Structure 1
């Protein structure tokens, strides 16, 4: 069965209500300021009393709107980190492609978004890894196309979200085709890509594993195929005079949440525990990026 955009949104609300009703919800109001961690913050942010946080609009289970409320793993972690640091969370929901440019323009202090840490991205921002992910192809079951490796895109029409690592992965894969090159399309959101998939404009969408899982929950006609890439994903931080201290504070805050068990609670609530990290790691301009299976 195929759904239009409005129907997908209606079902998403219903599915979220049903799925989360069986999961113990640990109120984030119980997360207290960790004085030793908060003391690591640069004075400018301590004095401001707020952390400007970008949360890219990537959909369930990471970031999505339910009515006027922002939900998902990223939103929950953003609020939790701010509480540990004793700051107000000033959260802005933005397109994924605007995250790094927003940091460079000093619109935000940090940005969520499950960034893969690459040499190109390290030219413009610093990162703290907090989760792990890999990508799969989202396909229509009845179409008979089920790519399991990057070579399988050759001669086909595929797409991904603009600005995502998945889009860059598809572009890289396209250059390695010995025969007919694929047609690779960029979409402003995962929802737009799925609509294109269901309308037959493309044959597959390369998407993070959690996003694929959620899409299949909403549409039984879809399926996920293959495990592409994968590795640690990160929160991005603006590179400026405050970088060293804010990176240390962010790592301290995430490690505190991991050690206290609140990190696990947040991931279980959002069905993202498959990507749990054991500790946070800092990556700066001079760091060697993690190795990914691209």
Structure 2
């Protein structure tokens, strides 16, 4: 984004803030951290806007209720922007479009609970912000309830397009010899659940939080196994702003963790099981965390 366009966005944000102040009371913004905000690139400071992609992965992480965006990712996105003294410009997008959007300079950062892998470090940088593991979402009425990756051999399994779970399934399929599984990629959890309920797949490997929310909505579903797990991260566009934005984002997360606001957000969204103790930066050349896949 050009400096001129960032300044225009900043002006729009300021006008919008003034307009909204005349209407019903808005949710109170969190206190700005001057120390974290000072780390921001000048172009973003001048614009006053942080362009944030939030993948539409469903409850409890990100979802739309009427015209409102909700979920842990949305709450964290707004909290980070407040902490940095910026206006959050949030776009709800498919998970598979997140990293491509960063590369195309559509967004500054993207949520999506990314596992930090060597492949992803080729195109983006990351700041860890949460922890997660994966489970198989299965039908209670069926006997098939895998708890380990070798159990996918010969079965029909699904995952979200572009997810670490899909990558994990494809890697595990290579160990199945002639008894290959049929692996399907879906644009959203809701699409995957439809396929599961219609019998097109026998299980769906997804993050544990997404599995729990699906079970809350459909008592005919169950979660099976604990696969992998480890730190997940917010992705940062790799460009001339990367170094400063990574430092500012880490500063914002550490401030939210230390102030207790981070845990409040997780408890509100029933995601406190994945709380991180601190934010860690991973960039080009970094050694990724070790996951239990």
TM-score by length of structure 1 reads 0.90
Task: State the match for 1:169 in structure 2.
Answer: 168
Task: State the match for 2:253 in structure 1.
Answer: 254
**Stretches of structure 2 lacking an aligned partner (at least 5 in a row):** 1-25
Task: State the match for 1:96 in structure 2.
Answer: 95
Q: What pairs up with 1:39-188 in 2 under 5 angstroms?
A: 39-188=38-187
For residue 276 of structure 2, give the secondary structure of its aligned residue in structure 1: strand
Task: State the match for 1:287 in structure 2.
Answer: 286
Q: Conserved in 2, the CA contact under 8 Å of 1:28 and 1:80?
A: no
Q: Conserved in 1, the CA contact under 8 Å of 2:29 and 2:82?
A: no
CA distance in 1 between counterparts of 2:124 and 2:256 reads 23
Q: Conserved in 2, the CA contact under 8 Å of 1:154 and 1:179?
A: no
Deviation at 1:142, TM superposition (A): 1.0
CA distance in 2 between counterparts of 1:29 and 1:250 reads 21
Task: State the match for 2:199 in structure 1.
Answer: 200
The 1:28/1:291 distance shift into structure 2, 3 A limit, reads: farther
For residue 129 of structure 2, give the secondary structure of its aligned residue in structure 1: strand
Aligned length: 268
CA distance in 2 between counterparts of 1:289 and 1:28 reads 37
Deviation at 1:159, TM superposition (A): 0.3
CA distance in 2 between counterparts of 1:147 and 1:33 reads 46
Deviation at 1:178, TM superposition (A): 3.2
CA distance in 2 between counterparts of 1:40 and 1:281 reads 16
Runs of at least 4 residues off by over 6 Å: none
Task: State the match for 1:3 in structure 2.
Answer: none
Deviation at 1:30, TM superposition (A): 4.7
TM-score by length of structure 2 reads 0.90
Task: State the match for 2:210 in structure 1.
Answer: 211
Task: State the match for 1:228 in structure 2.
Answer: 227
For residue 184 of structure 1, give the secondary structure of its aligned residue in structure 2: strand
For residue 113 of structure 1, give the secondary structure of its aligned residue in structure 2: strand
Deviation at 1:179, TM superposition (A): 4.4
Deviation at 1:257, TM superposition (A): 0.2
